[in-house]
Structure 1
Amino acid sequence: MPTQWSRILILWLVGILAAAQLAKISAIAPILRESFHLSLPQIALLISLLEVGGGLFGFVAGLGLARFGMRAFLLAGGATLAAASLVEAIAPSPAILFAARAVEGVGYLLMVIVCPTAIAAIATDESRGRALALWSTFVPVGLALGSAVTASLVTLAGPRGVMLAWAVALAGITVLLTRFPLPGASGRRITLPAPAAWVATFAFGLYTLFVCALLMLLPSFLVERSGAPIEQVGLVTALASLAALPGSAAAMWLMRGGQLSSRRMMLVSTLALLATLPLVFWLYQAGGASLATSAALAIAATLVSGLVPPLMFARLPAQSGATTPDDPRIAAANGLITQFGAGGALLGPPLAGMVVAAWGWPALGIALIALVLAMLACLLLAESL
């Protein structure tokens, strides 16, 4: 058991390191805007480019992983992230900076498909659900790590020095991973996951659409609603982002007896998502609410809804139709969940902005409620399949 969980924790930490690259650019965005004379839409695009690889090629990468093996993908992903960060550190023009960020997205995609697939193969039947629930926390933890490390180093080394430091760290980790025990290429033919996995991963895409629309526009909403200073608004947004972590801990506790049953998954998910609805409604409908009230509602909505994604990751191997821990349908399903998740992250903020621009903040609350209900409907359909 210690050996199994030590390998799972290493893969989780690798995912956190990859996810830290999401926050690397956003933490120094004001400096990059000034250095490269970028507009706000341009810097927003630069930040989100890391998700382009997953949004375009997630499913294809999942199929390729089943064919060519985890080690090749993991090492290629780490090397790509390191090389891209190095180019970002020395980029002489915005065009090269953008190109490096897009390539970085491919490396990120490779790593975040390998890690959960490897975790599913390494874990036992009794621990697989808890291990995948732990994996589901890699993005919020990575975002916190990337923001903290980048912000603390930029005053000492400048933006180029920070990029170089990330490149060195990623290269070092990749070298160490060459000796990490992983299953090799399966050599099996490409196999599509079962229909339930398609519906369930689409539900995850709706969740990322929901949470990104909520969190990415939360600073603007709080400043406009309460007139709070940006420092307080930033703290509230950070707390709301990390509020999903207790949900993962609760999910792991629910699975302490072994695999997660369909009945328990749907009971907990239904209660959590239905409880999210009034929180979102009150957040955007309560005119003149204080910063403390709005912050509490946003944090509570993220905390309660955050109970569901870990359960979705835990159920994915069964929903994919896999019959063994190394079944290629698990890799394909991880590709799907990466693709839909990246798509939600890309579309969430701009779509939410369009809703607010056309109909105001209360309309965003209604739209988010509709997303939560659609997500619940998809989860019910997936389990029925």
Structure 2
Amino acid sequence: MDTQSAQQRTPWGMISLVYLGGVVAAMSLGKFAPVGPAVTAELGLSLSQLGWVISTVVGVGAAVGLPFGYLIRRYGSERSLVAGLVLIAVASAAGAGADGYAWLLAARAVEGVGYLLVTIACPALILRLACERDRGTALSIWATFVAVGLGASTLAGGVIGAALGWRGWIGILAGLTLVMALVAQARLPRGSARQPVAGPLPRARALAWPGGLAAAFCLAALVTIPVVVLLPTLLVEQFGHSAASAGAVSSVISLLSALGGVAVGMLLRRGLSVGVLALAGLPTLPAAWLMFGGEGSPQAALAGAAVISIANGFLGALVFAALPLVLERLDHADVGNGIVAQAGSLGSLLGPPLFGLVAEGPGLPALVPVISVGIVASVGALLLVGRKAARTLPSS
């Protein structure tokens, strides 16, 4: 009886290790943000070129997320996680020695492959490790990895970059990522989690509902992530903040998205349905007006940005938590996560330039209807998926 009970417990220590792997990967995603001026000055990059260096990692996911889901299904989630971390570490080390734009961009493309492996493998592995009642909670916590990783990268990169230069910062992060890969290799379970997944490949019909979740994720990312990207510019140009002050405030606002992910886990454990939780995205509408609707105060703009950041984390976590509820089989998780990763990357990639075009054209107030349409469509897609996911997780 005790053995059976133990087998039904969720190995939270193992899941924490998987989560840390995602956080370390996300630190590499944002590693150039705190040292961007130093990189552009030393390598003679334009701001546009620096933008491509930063976004190339996400671009890889936007292009090949679904095919990589099938690849990870074949070779196993644990192997793919370790391989992804090793790729990030090697590419980071190569980037630390870059002498120009082409070299740096190529290194970032390889990092993008590693990052994609990690971001598809980790939630699939968490889904298999967690027992049924804890899956939603575990996956919603997983969804906070980007916010935590970017926040840690911003804080650590600023300090280490100032002391050792941008190459020193990137080299240290490469070493940390390699250590994480070795720990994952040694500690993650061998056996079924390491072996390629058995069972039939999911057909197109089996991916329809995961595709609905992916569409919701893409739309939410498209209209919420650029808000944090634009926030420093808004604070400097509209409200007279210094660049340092605007950057610090924006980092805090970005970290608030992790609160949304934690909230989803708590609410799912209380038995609330996906459809009900989806409605929590709607406060984004008045928040968008607070930010861009007129000549408001900086306090109002920051309040609006905070609500939008939390909603971004909440909706993203809800997508990950709902995925196992709409899969035909749990061993379709790799492919399902591939669709979700590709959609989220696509929204993250296209959102900032879209917002830039709108802001430079009709002006900042025109962003209010853009955000409103995107959020309403995202919430609508989640409501449809919620009808499919008729059951909820058991309450505590």
TM-score by length of 1: 0.93
CA drift at 1:53: 1.9
Q: In the alignment, which residue of structure 2 is the partner of 1:280? A: 288
- Structure 2 distance, partners of 1:71, 1:283, is 42
Of 372, 381, 390, which aligns to 1:378? 381
User: Structure 2 matches for 1:223-242, cutoff 5 A?
Assistant: 223-242=236-255
- Structure 2 distance, partners of 1:96, 1:304, is 37
Alpha carbons 1:15, 1:138 under 8 Å: kept? yes
Of 227, 252, 257, which aligns to 1:244? 257
Question: Which ranges in structure 2 are unaligned for 5 or more consecutive residues?
Answer: 1-5, 389-396
1:162-217 C-alpha deviation (Å, 9 max, x unpaired): 12111211122212222221502114342244311101111101111112221111
Alpha carbons 2:358, 2:367 under 8 Å: kept? yes
Alpha carbons 1:136, 1:248 under 8 Å: kept? yes
1:48-95 C-alpha deviation (Å, 9 max, x unpaired): 111122111111111111122123212211111111011011122221
Alpha carbons 1:281, 1:369 under 8 Å: kept? no
CA drift at 1:3: 6.6
RMSD: 1.7
CA drift at 1:330: 1.1
CA drift at 1:305: 4.9
Of 94, 97, 103, which aligns to 2:104? 97
- Structure 2 distance, partners of 1:298, 1:70, is 35
1:290 paired to 2:335: no
Q: In the alignment, which residue of structure 1 is the partner of 2:58? A: 51
Q: Specify the code of the residue in structure 2 equivalent to 1:26.
A: A
Q: Specify the code of the residue in structure 2 equivalent to 1:330.
A: A
1:113-151 C-alpha deviation (Å, 9 max, x unpaired): 111000000000011110001101000000011111211
Q: Which has the larger displacement, 208-217 or 10-19?
A: 208-217
Question: Which ranges in structure 1 are unaligned for 5 or more consecutive residues?
Answer: none
1:188 paired to 2:199: yes
Of 37, 41, 48, which aligns to 1:41? 48
For 2:361, what is the secondary structure of its paired residue? helix
Q: In the alignment, which residue of structure 2 is the partner of 1:85? A: 92
Q: Specify the code of the residue in structure 2 equivalent to 1:280.
A: A
Q: Specify the code of the residue in structure 1 equivalent to 2:316.
A: P
User: Structure 2 matches for 1:6-21, cutoff 5 A?
Assistant: 6-21=13-28
- Structure 1 distance, partners of 2:309, 2:79, is 36
Identity of aligned residues (%): 32
- Structure 2 distance, partners of 1:199, 1:304, is 19
For 2:17, what is the secondary structure of its paired residue? helix
Q: Specify the code of the residue in structure 1 equivalent to 2:286.
A: P
- Structure 2 distance, partners of 1:274, 1:155, is 41
Alpha carbons 1:19, 1:138 under 8 Å: kept? yes
User: Structure 2 matches for 1:1-385, cutoff 5 A?
Assistant: 4-179=11-186, 180-182=188-190, 183=193, 184-192=195-203, 193-257=206-270, 264-270=273-279, 272-287=280-295, 289-322=296-329, 324=330, 327=331, 329-385=332-388
